[in-house]
A and B are shown apart, each in its own frame.
Chain A
Amino acid sequence: MPVQVFSFYIFDRHSHGGGAYRDSRSAATRAKDDAKLIFGTVFSLRNMVRKLGGDDDAFISYRTAQYKLHYYETPSSLRFAMLTEPGALSMRNVLHQIYINLWVEYVVKNPLSPVEHKNGDGVRNEMFEMGLDKRDEGGPASLNRGATDAASV
């Protein structure tokens, strides 16, 4: 069963909503707003979890009746957030794979890629985008390629 993925965000350590931003049906403005809200949510929950569960605890996901948000944070404070259908199983591995196989391979190792993605310019990295698209292939046709536009928080 393919899992329906609604959108995917990467935030760098400065909380710039950078990275690949994609959404199935999106207007760019809404996307920007959502990125801000998602970052705020994820950031608050992550802090709350650390406060309650101790510093070694990590926020994994939350679910509402409409969607599920999966979260993965790298040791370098890069934050991945993916919104899927609510019934989806843990996507932690997938996020981890995206980090290892796509981000590290195509963005970090790319000498032309900036070290920091400032002002929410987005990643704009063709190889990375292609890799993401490939991952999506099993997904439903409704998942169009959204704007690669990135929102800054």
Chain B
Amino acid sequence: MGGRAVIALLIINKAGGLIYNRTFGEGLNQLNSNDYLVLAGTFHGVHAITARLNPLREHQAAHYYAQQQQYQHSASGSLGGASSSGGGGGGGSQGGPLPSRPEPPSGLEVMETENFRLQCFNTQTGTKFLLFTDTMQANVDVAMRKVYELYADYVMKNPFYQLEMPVRCDMFDRKLNSYIREINNSR
């Protein structure tokens, strides 16, 4: 079958609009531009739902609540001059350990199908990078990191790029192409 390869990259802005779309190799059907827009919007919605579906959310919320209770209890205890707080782990002079907030649910990160693999990286600001690869492609994390770096450099530092608008930056295209070619040729 086809070798390991990065097939395509989509970038979706925080409102669910498609701002970048590039195909690097064979393996996926080519859609028309409208279908890509729809696809981006759909994925944006699905991503939000997959984040909500966290089966452990109540468990984690309860855990957090319990921790917070304990923290407040021990903090008020030490304020009152009590000698030892039940908190244990915390090294500071404060009461118990600070309650650790549960990780915010991530939403879809990897999707697998029979023909391809989709990795999604959601930045802190809500921009989504979708990297479509062959099912066998390794180290997609590294590639994703690099793509994000290129985006931060050649898109965000470009004075002519307007936020949330479609990405039309020659430099980004060029650097991205040569990087992906490098990956696809070194199998």
Chain B positions within 8 Å of A59 at CB level: 111, 113
How many whole Å from B34's CB to the nearest CB in chain A? Answer: 12
Quick check: is A76 within 8 A (CB to CB) of the other chain?
no
How many whole Å from B107's CB to the nearest CB in chain A? Answer: 6
Given A48-B43, A52-B28: A37 touches B49 (CB 8 Å cut-off): yes
Given A24-B55, A65-B105, A66-B105: A45 touches B116 (CB 8 Å cut-off): no
Size band of the B side of the interface?
Answer: 20 to 34
The number of A-B residue pairs with CB atoms under 8 Å apart is: 99
Chain B positions within 8 Å of A61 at CB level: 111-112
Please state if B49 and A41 are interface contacts (CB–CB under 8 Å): yes
Quick check: is B163 within 8 A (CB to CB) of the other chain?
no
Chain B positions within 8 Å of A64 at CB level: 50-51, 54, 105-109
Please state if A52 and B29 are interface contacts (CB–CB under 8 Å): yes
Residue of A52, A53, A63 contacting most chain B CB atoms (<10 Å): A52
Please state if B28 and A44 are interface contacts (CB–CB under 8 Å): no
Chain A's closest residue to B35 (CB) is: A51
How many whole Å from A91's CB to the nearest CB in chain B? Answer: 12
Please state if A51 and B29 are interface contacts (CB–CB under 8 Å): yes
How many whole Å from A63's CB to the nearest CB in chain B? Answer: 5
Chain A positions within 8 Å of B105 at CB level: 64-66
- Cβ contacts A6-43/B at 8 Å (1 or 0 each): 11000000000000000111000010001001101100
Residue of A25, A45, A69, A83 contacting most chain B CB atoms (<10 Å): A45
Residue of A53, A64, A69 contacting most chain B CB atoms (<10 Å): A64
Given A34-B53, A61-B112, A66-B55: A48 touches B29 (CB 8 Å cut-off): no
Please state if A57 and B114 are interface contacts (CB–CB under 8 Å): yes
- Cβ contacts A85-128/B at 8 Å (1 or 0 each): 00000000000000000000000000000000000000000000
Please state if A67 and B54 are interface contacts (CB–CB under 8 Å): yes
Quick check: is B168 within 8 A (CB to CB) of the other chain?
no
Task: Out of B29, B45, B55, B106, name the residue touching A7 (CB < 8 Å).
Answer: B55
Chain B's closest residue to A53 (CB) is: B115
Please state if B49 and A67 are interface contacts (CB–CB under 8 Å): no
Please state if B53 and A60 are interface contacts (CB–CB under 8 Å): no
Chain B positions within 8 Å of A40 at CB level: 46, 49
- Cβ contacts B78-109/A at 8 Å (1 or 0 each): 00000000000000000000000001011111
Chain B's closest residue to A7 (CB) is: B55
Please state if A67 and B110 are interface contacts (CB–CB under 8 Å): no
Top 9 A-B residue pairs of the complex, sorted by shortest distance between their CB atoms = A65-B106, A6-B55, A53-B115, A62-B111, A57-B115, A66-B54, A60-B112, A49-B113, A64-B106
Known: A56-B115, A61-B111. 15 other contacts (CB 8 A): A30-B58, A37-B49, A40-B46, A45-B46, A48-B42, A49-B113, A52-B116, A53-B115, A56-B114, A60-B113, A62-B108, A63-B110, A64-B51, A64-B108, A64-B109
